[in-house]
Amino acid sequence: MKVFSDISLTKYNSFGISAKAKKVFLIEKESDLEALSEYQLGSPLLILGEGTNTLFSRDFEGSIVKMGIKGIAFGENKDGFQEVRVGGGENWHDLVLETLQHGLRGLENLSLIPGSVGAAPIQNIGAYGVEVCDFIESVEGFDLMAQRTKVLSRDECGFEYRTSIFKKDLRDRFLVTHVNFLLEREWTSLNTSYRSLRSYLDEHGIIDPDPVQLSNAVIDIRNSKLPDPKLIGNAGSFFKNPVIEPEEFISLKSRYPDVAGFEQQDGRVKVFAGWLIENLGWKGKKLGNAGVHKDQALVIVNLGNAKGEEVKMLAQKLIDEVHEVYGLELEPEVRII
């Protein structure tokens, strides 16, 4: 196991924020878990994937455990479904492309989401009407407190909108080593219900897309809206979309007829946070060295040498204004340290 002391975290977060950590433990194989148990990790403790959903607002005065276990194994074919076991350190988008090459359906709507496979169930990542929990069979990991491995079934993971048991009861104590997926080999229809996705397909004359075509559509849409972290520091969508009761949405729409929302299966409405922020006039504006992206108001960017505290201050200002104007609570999707 590799152990680093007093290390810069700039390359460990997609914001490109300059911060330091006292110790970073890199887990690259399962035997490293035994070596890790010999250390007194202490507190605070942070489990980190690729850092694409983390904002360091200060130096981290504790230990970081970084997951780097790789490997994609295709298992049994069960009644048209394929088992796939994936190391937590694999890149998420690379996994999506690999499953598509194997003719598997399920993850195409989640193409180009930044981050690692191990972080996917923690955040219960989702996009364009699909959440990753729909295709997870179980999650394997190492409980740092109990010092033993565990396997949690899908039901035990407590999946909800952009959260899970790993962000609650098991926060910073459960290191995801592998995720087991169950993907479709035979498919009859794909999820094209999301408005922007449906519009893209219609505009390009794609009536009945296959999984690869749908993935390519998602990639094109995301590339047109979201900045590349390699070029400008960001963590993608900074806020969750507020989910409100239908009566609240009707009231909101009576005041703001152009407000955008997406009805959920339970009847509630997911309001697009990007629209709320853009309607306040924040799109393309900045506060110090942090700003709201010029093409996507849901994305906060590092305009160059921004400190984590500057990004945090801008995020709080957006939260305050959205609450003051619309009466809605914006909750960060990005984890602020």
What's the rounded Cα separation, in Å, for the pair 250 and 267?
A: 13
Question: In the annotation, is 162 catalytic?
Answer: yes
What's the rounded Cα separation, in Å, for the pair 171 and 328?
A: 26
Question: In the annotation, is 28 catalytic?
Answer: no
Contacts of 235 (CB under 8 A, 6+ apart): 13, 14, 15, 52, 53, 54, 55, 114, 229, 300, 334
Annotated catalytic residue within 63, 138, 215, 237: 237
Question: In the annotation, is 333 catalytic?
Answer: yes
Backbone angles phi, psi at 293, to 5 degrees: -60, 145
Say if residue 227 is preceded by a cis peptide, omega within 30 of 0: no
Annotated catalytic residue within 111, 164, 333, 335: 333
What's the rounded Cα separation, in Å, for the pair 169 and 336?
A: 18
Greatest extent of the chain over all pairs of C-alpha atoms, in Å: 60
What's the rounded Cα separation, in Å, for the pair 208 and 259?
A: 29
- Of 149, 150, 139, give the one whose Cα is nearest residue 85: 139
Annotated catalytic residue within 105, 162, 222, 335: 162
Catalytic residue annotation? 162, 237, 333
